[in-house]
Amino acid sequence: MQRKIRILVVEDEAAIRDGLVDVLVFHGYDTDCAADGNAGLDKALSGRFDLILLDVMLPGMNGFDICNRVRERDPEQAIIMLTAKTSDEDIIQGLSLGADDYVAKPFSVAQLMLRIQAVLRRSRIGIERDHLIRLGDDIEVDCRNLQGIYNGGSLAFTRREMDILQYLNANAERPVSREELLTKVWGYARDLNIETRTVDIHIAKLRRKIEPEPAQPRYLVTVRGAGYRLLTEPG
């Protein structure tokens, strides 16, 4: 028998927490939960979960700190942040720490389930591409290990960042739109009307890792009105 997908819910509001657990169990997931940040971190680090639904505002330890600690232990752990805060600063902070996605409260159960399915699909399957990406003479990325070398120094990537690099590398002959990345890398349906700033934030993170001057990218370039393109030689 195939094992059930395991999801951890870290949420301090009892009504939301219990509602999420009920919905997830109804959809066939093996679900555990925690009501505060410290308990959530303990469970996240001690159990093997396919996905963590992580509230930002928690007693004891906030979701940002938990995300950071979990990412240090397991760069491939799938994480969706649940937040009542919708400012760019909070969204950028969550995604910069390695969250795969964020869902703003209040949210519909239908959209949350679509987001969960999309993140699980990407984290389980990934994108099958050549495992080495070389950029110029100084950068080599090992897609299998989420690691890279830049001028003799080491680079570390999240699974989402690597998926983006692999997809752009596989389509290097053309620019790739934000909407295409959301569909092919994030796994969203085209009619979900997802904010494209999620893509921009991840691109900015990647540039800080692979670009000598992130403000003037040479490899991960913007094509005006078309999206992004990965150049194996500096542009």
pLDDT tens figures, 130-146: 578 889 888 989 888 88
Answer with the one of 106, 125, 144 that is the final residue of a domain: 125
Answer with the one of 125, 153, 175 that is the final residue of a domain: 125
Indicate whether 15 and 120 sit together in one domain: yes
Q: What is the pLDDT of residue 123?
A: 66
Answer with the one of 101, 125, 149 that is the final residue of a domain: 125
Q: Which residues contact 78 (CB under 8 A, 6 or more apart)?
A: 50, 51, 52, 100, 119, 120, 122, 123, 159
Indicate whether 223 and 162 sit together in one domain: yes
Q: Which residues contact 145 (CB under 8 A, 6 or more apart)?
A: none
Q: What is the pLDDT of residues 39-82, one digit of tens each?
A: 999 999 987 898 999 999 999 999 999 999 998 888 878 899 88
Q: Which residues contact 55 (CB under 8 A, 6 or more apart)?
A: 10, 11, 12, 13, 63, 81, 82, 83
* Model pTM score: 0.59
**What residues are paired with 155 via a beta bridge?**
148
Per-residue pLDDT at 196 exceeds 80: no
Which domain range does residue 114 map to? 6-125
CATH of the domain at 165: 1.10.10.10
- Within a domain: residue 83? yes
- Within a domain: residue 218? yes
Indicate whether 121 and 210 sit together in one domain: no
What is the DSSP-derived secondary structure letter of residue 77?
Answer: -
Mean pLDDT calculated for residue range 185-200: 72
Q: What is the pLDDT of residue 228?
A: 96
Q: How many domains does the chain have?
A: 2
More confident residue, 198 or 196: 198
Mean pLDDT calculated for residue range 142-155: 87
- Within a domain: residue 1? no
- Within a domain: residue 235? no
127 vs 44, 86, 164, 209, 214, CA distance in Å? 25, 30, 9, 21, 25
Indicate whether 116 and 211 sit together in one domain: no
